[in-house]
Structure 1
Amino acid sequence: MSDEEVQRVLDSINALGDTGDAEGRARRLTELLDQWPDTHRRVREMRQEALAELYDSGNGLTYREIGALLGISFGRVRQILAGETTSAKKQKGPDGE
């Protein structure tokens, strides 16, 4: 996806909350949120597949090269390829709950 494609997706999401009456906005946003976990999971899987293609079982780019290409750390590349997520950390509050 190019940056332009990503921006179109983000603009579409923003439009769900910017147009129509309050009931219509609430319904559309509720539908999006209901589908979000599956959509989010699929986006993560697609990213993992793309990184796996770049890595090619060690025959392609290194973790460091992939990280430099994407602007993320090699450790994060390793986590993505291993299927590790950071969602549990993000969901916890400042006191760990």
Structure 2
Amino acid sequence: MSDEEVQRVLDSIDALGETGDAADRARSLTKLLDEWPDTHAKVREMRQQAVVELREQGMSLRKIGDLLGLSFTRVKQISEGVTNPREQKRKQEAKGAADSAE
């Protein structure tokens, strides 16, 4: 997907909030929000697959990070399917505390 394609998607989202009467806009935006979690997950999975492909082609984490404007640590997390590092760390800490309490 090129930068132009991304911009078209963003422009389409903006148009949902600007076109039609208020009821039509509210219905359209509600539908988008209802679909958003699944769409967001799908986009994350597609990004992960693209990063994995780059790794399989021999590209280093640092090189991919430079390409994407991300740290190599974040690229590693993406390739491993880590979607929210802070939340996963919190869950691990909570699990560790629960295990220690037993």
Q: Same fold (TM over 0.5)?
A: yes
Distance 1:87 1:55 in 2: 20
Compute the displacement of 1:87 (Å): 7.9
Compute the displacement of 1:86 (Å): 1.9
What does the per-residue CA deviation read over 1:34-76, in whole Å, with 9 as the maximum and x for residues that have no partner? Answer: 00000000000000000000001xx510101100111110000
Compute the displacement of 1:10 (Å): 0.1
Asked if 1:38 is matched to 2:50, the reply is no
The unaligned stretches of length 5 or more in structure 2 are: 88-102
Paired residue type of 1:28: S
Partner residue of 1:53? 53
Paired residue type of 1:82: E
Percent identity, aligned pairs only, is 66
Secondary structure in 2 aligned to 1:64? helix
Q: Which moved more, 1:20-29 or 1:80-89?
A: 80-89
1:21-32 maps to which residues of 2 (within 5 A)? 21-32=21-32
Q: What is the TM-score with the length of structure 1 in the denominator?
A: 0.85
Secondary structure in 2 aligned to 1:18? coil
How many residues matched? 87
Q: Classify 1:87/1:8 alpha carbon distance in 2 versus 1 (closer, same or farther; 3 Å).
A: farther
Q: What is the TM-score with the length of structure 2 in the denominator?
A: 0.81
Distance 2:3 2:71 in 1: 20
Secondary structure in 1 aligned to 2:17? helix
RMSD: 1.4
Structure 1 outlier segments of 4+, above 3 Å: none
Paired residue type of 2:63: E
Asked if 1:19 is matched to 2:57, the reply is no
Partner residue of 1:79? 77
